Structure formats: structure tokens, C-alpha cells
Amino acid sequence: MKKKTISLILALILLLSCSATAQATSVQAATPSASITINGTTATCRVSIAKPGKTIHATLQLWQGRTMIDSWSGNGTSYLLITGSHEVTKGKTYTVKVVCTVDGQSFYVNPATAITGFSVNVYSYHRLTPRTKDDSSAVYFYYRDGKRDHIRARALGGSAQNGSMNNCTVSGGTRVNYVTCHNGNKYSIHSFINEDGYRWATLSFSCPNLFGETMSGEWSPDSANSYKDATP
């Protein structure tokens, strides 16, 4: 009876040990991620990498579009933390990427993206400064703050940053004059900007009987994530 009891206890200890090892392995196997936060016009970038007993070399890079605007490097054993800050421009999208090796082998770290905000007067479809559009993904828009519950928005496309812009807004696969966006919500504004062959994109805003008031928010000509579809 004692032998059976001891065997049962040993089996239980072995099972718990295997479970704990599996959980630890799962935690260690999780892919680390870089981070970026923007406060006003200052972007703070960060990455931490933990690989017990291993040599880590990494470079943290800050990108705006296809241009790297700053970088910070470091190395360590078992653990590495890299931070850096850089002044950024309102209304643009910034991404942090990490180039890393662990014991001389390439090691992947998830990138991160942040978008600086803007503040603009809302009248007669006032437009933002155009930015280059790289793909056919939806235009991202976050109506962060304003006195009105909702505004009208258009996705515009053009061949040159300082040239004329044409309405390319789409809802449900059909071209529309505008879409409606409510205060406090993030939207995917669909368009045919890329399909129409335009390289530049922007948003314009209007609201009936609204003059001299301002709104603030975030936008990006391309988006990796999906948000609430904007409709008329």
C-alpha cells in the first residue's frame, strides 16, 4: 500500500513538474515586442529582450514611412533593455523595428506603430496635408475630440502632394460623397485611392452649420488593422 502511495505521489510530482516546465517554455517562447508611445511631439521607443544565459545584440530603429530617422543599439547577456526618444511631427505615422541576434542567430521582435495626432478647423471639407499611400488598405481615422457628435469625412487621392485631390471615398464597394464618423470612435475609411492610381492620400472634413470650430484626432493613409467601417 505504501509503495502504491509513494508511486502515486511521485507520478503527481512529475506531472506538476512537466506542467510547470511547459508553462515556462511557453513564456520563454513568446515573441517579444517593441513599443512606442507619443506624448505631444516626443516619441519614446522601448524594447526588452530576455534570453537566459545567451548573448543579445539589438538595434532599435524608429521609422517614418520608408525612412529610418533614428536608432539606438545595445548588447547584453541574458537580458537587454533599449530605450530612446525622438521629436516627431503631428499627423504622421511612426514605426519602431528591432534588428536582433541571440548567440549570433537572427531573432525576431514584433514591431510597433503609433500615430501622432492633429488638430484642424472643420469647415467646407477642409483637408489635411496629403501623405504617400503604399497599398489598398483602408485609411485609418480616429475622431478623438470635438464639439460635434459626428462629422463628415472624405478620403481623397491625388498624383502630387501639392496638386488637386479627388474624392475616392467608398462604402460597401460603391463610391460615396462622404462617410459619417462619430466622436470617440476609430474608423476604417475605404477608398479607391490606390485603385485609381493615386500616390497621395488625405482626409477632408465638414459638418453642417459648423464654422470656426476645431476637431482633433489621428489618421494614417494605410492601416494594418481593421476598425469600424465608416458609412454615409
Cβ-in-10-Å burial (0-12, 13-18, 19+) of 160 comes to exposed
Q: What is the pLDDT of residue 41?
A: 82
Please give the Cα distance from 42 to 116 (Å, whole number): 9
pLDDT at residue 197 tops 70: yes
- Structural contact between residues 217 and 145, judged by C-beta atoms closer than 8 angstroms: yes
Residue 143 exposure: Cα atoms within 13 Å on the Cβ side: 27
Domain spans in the chain, listed from the N-terminal domain onward? 35-115, 119-229
User: Is the pLDDT confidence value at 61 over 90?
Assistant: yes
pLDDT at 157: 97
Q: What is the pTM of this model?
A: 0.60
pLDDT at 20: 42
Helices (H) and strands (E) in the chain, counts: 1, 19
**pLDDT value for 27:** 35
Q: Is the sign of the CA dihedral 188, 192, 195, 198 positive or negative? A: negative
Strands 228-229 and 186-191: parallel
Contact of 226 with 187, CB cutoff 8 Å: no
Res 121: pLDDT: 65
Collapse the DSSP code of 21 into the 3-class scheme (helix H, G, I; strand E, B; otherwise coil) and give the result.
helix
pLDDT of residue 102: 96
Question: In the predicted model, is pLDDT for residue 144 greater than 80?
Answer: yes
What whole-number distance in Å separates Cα of residue 31 and Cα of residue 200?
35
Write out the DSSP string of 166-229.
EE-EEETTEE-S-EEEETT-EEEEEE-TTTTT-SEEEEEEE-TT--S-EEEEEEESS-SS--EE
Amino acid at 130: P
More confident site: 214 or 200 = 200
- Tell me, what DSSP letter sits at residue 148? S
Asked if the model's pLDDT at residue 30 lies above 70, the reply is no
Whether 19 has a pLDDT exceeding 50, the answer reads no
Buried b (16+ CB within 10 A) or exposed e, 121-152: ebeebeebebbebeeebbbbbbbbebeeeebb
Give 65-86 pLDDT, tens digit per residue: 889 999 999 999 999 999 999 9
Confidence (pLDDT) at 90: 73
Architecture in CATH of 35-115: Sandwich (2.60)
